[in-house]
Structure 1
Amino acid sequence: MSAKKLLLIDDDLELTELLKEYLTPQGYELDVAHDGEAGLSLATSHKHYDLILLDVMLPKLDGFEVLKKLRTSHLTPVLMLTAKGDDYDKIFGLEMGADDYLAKPFNHRELSARIKALVRRMALLPSSSVQQNLKLGNVELSPPAQQVFCANNLVELTATEYSILHLLMINHGSLVSKQNISEKVLGKKLAAFDRSIDMHVSNLRKKLAAFSPEEKIKTHRGAGYLYLVST
């Protein structure tokens, strides 16, 4: 099995060295960039990365600018590293297309668990190639190509948004709890006051609404989400 390739974009030299020493023995190949411009250049190069670890506070280009530019061309999963307790950074990062976030200072074991969950989820997506397309109303999800079409238009989704939509569609007509989504898509238990699932679903709604005005995902406050089937 080939090593999973990670890109770490962080200007903390000591932290990046520690993480390289910690993650390499776990089977990861880690590239490091110490400013936003260098990080973006690597992230958008021809080299494939399974996951990008992106700090918010960076010289030259901050993490949000890097993420915004990255998402115009790449859907590589991104784990944002934010300041502890800074909810604005977390929410803004998720709105811009980050897949998950982790507050600094963090426990290395927790970081490893988050990385494993995101990388494992991505590794499982190709196995869906044996599945047939799933079509509900004017939304069609193609597991072999990992693409989504709405009213015959290609919808550019991040890996997390795609996984959430897939989970909701295969359970159409049934309520899917936030806890279920968090565990199956993000690979973690839903923490109190964690709004990451809400933000991903909000982004998903906006992208589908750009091609179809019909409500497709209904919120059951405090419980979860329901994918509506058009009649």
Structure 2
Amino acid sequence: MTMQGKRILIVEDESSIVNVVSQALRRHGFEVSTVDNGDDALDMLYPVLPDLVLLDLMLPGMDGWEVCRRIRSAPESKGLPIIMMTARRDERDLVQGLGLGADDYIKKPFSLVELVARVKSLIRRTQMVQTEPTLSVGELEIDLEGQMARLAGEELSLSLTEYKLLRILAERPGQVVPRERLLSLIWGVYGGDTRTVDVHISRLRKKLTQAADDRAPAITALRGRGYRLTVEEHHENP
């Protein structure tokens, strides 16, 4: 199973750790987003979930235990893979973290090789329980392993960025995905200029419109909010 395009959210307030871990994961094909506190971590989870969360325990404000508890208590994220990271040595931390629903636990300082191996292993284990290799929205079918999309049975000619945008929107049909969230997930930029998102969305919408009839899903822009993928009888670009 390839890890290319799998999304990792790192929740860690030590910038030196964030930098080296992010670089290591990106070298293995992962897409990485980072936040340095628990409140922002919960904001980053929705509406598009990452494939795995690397969660530090000792965070400013809301700590890692509480973040884990809230992730597990929400129906949308209760199955989200979580690896906890900590410099604390007390075995009670391990017991508490696993008791709250963390899938794995790694102590600082850790080997990057070991961390990447654990991330890959947990993602594999999690996805082995998924029975559907494709994602479908109306006439749109996305091949998750092959990273390709078909509309009404015809393969779409998409760039990798366009494919990623389409997949993210298709994972939450009918729900608005903020431009800032798309920018973070695909380009790894948090709080930057979102015009890049708009340009790629415009190209993707044209390809969807040209490829099929009115049964094709439509990418709708909501001014000041973001984009959503919907299936309608008829649609016009706003």
TM range (shorter): 0.5 to 0.7
- What is the deviation of 1:18? 1.1
Which residue does 2:89 correspond to in 1?
85
> Is 1:72 aligned with 2:73?
yes
- Following the alignment from structure 2 to structure 1, what is the Cα–Cα distance between the partners of residues 49 and 38? 18
Measure how far apart 1:84 and its partner are: 4.6
Pick the aligned partner of 2:25 from 17, 23, 26: 23
* Alpha-carbon displacement from aligned partner over 1:124-158 (angstroms, at most 9, x marks no partner): 212389xxxxxxxxxxxxxxxxxxxxxxxxxxxxx
In structure 1, give the amino acid aligned to 2:114: E
Query: How far apart, in 1, do the equivalents of 2:87 and 2:27 lie?
Result: 27
2:12 and 2:70 mapped to 1: Cα distance?
17
Q: Which residue of 1 aligns with 2:110?
A: 106
How far, CA to CA, are the matches of 1:63 and 1:84 in structure 2? 13
Give the partner amino acid of 1:113. Answer: A
Q: Secondary structure at the match of 1:7?
A: strand
Equivalent residue, structure 1, for 2:13: 11
Correspondence 1:119 to 2:123: yes
Superposition pairs of residues 47-196 of structure 1, within 5 angstroms: 47-73=48-74, 74-75=77-78, 76-127=80-131
Q: Displacement, 1:17?
A: 1.1
Structure 2: how far apart are the matches of 1:49 and 1:102? 19
SS at match of 2:31: strand
Partner of 1:180: none
Q: Secondary structure at the match of 1:80?
A: strand
CA contact (8 A) 1:35 1:59 kept: yes
Query: Max radius of gyration: which structure?
Result: 2
Partners in 2 of 1:127 and 1:36 — Cα distance? 32
CA distance in 1, matches of 2:22, 2:29: 11
Paired with 2:54 and 2:110, the residues of 1 have a C-alpha distance of 13
Question: How far has the Cα of 1:86 moved from its partner?
Answer: 2.1
In structure 2, give the amino acid aligned to 1:21: Q
The corresponding residue for 2:41 is: 39
Size of the aligned set, in residue pairs, is 128
- Whether contact under 8 Å (2:24, 2:116) holds in the other structure is no
SS in 2 for 1:27: coil
Deviation per residue, 1:70-107 (Å, 9 max, x gap): 11112201000122522111110011111110011100
Percent identity of paired positions between Structure 1 and Structure 2: 35
List structure 1 segments (4+ residues) > 3 angstroms apart after TM superposition. Answer: none
Q: Residue type of the partner of 2:7?
A: K
Stretches of structure 1 lacking an aligned partner (at least 5 in a row): 130-231
* Unmatched runs of 5 consecutive residues or more in structure 2: 134-238
Deviation at 1:8, TM superposition (A): 0.5
- Distance in 2, matches of 1:9 and 1:88, equals 21
- Tell me by how many angstroms 1:11 deviates: 0.2
Which residue pairs with 1:160 in the alignment? none
In 2: Cα distance, 1:110 partner to 1:41 partner: 28
Quote the offset at 1:60 in angstroms: 1.4
**SS of aligned partner of 1:88:** helix
Contact 1:82 1:102 in 2 (8 A): yes
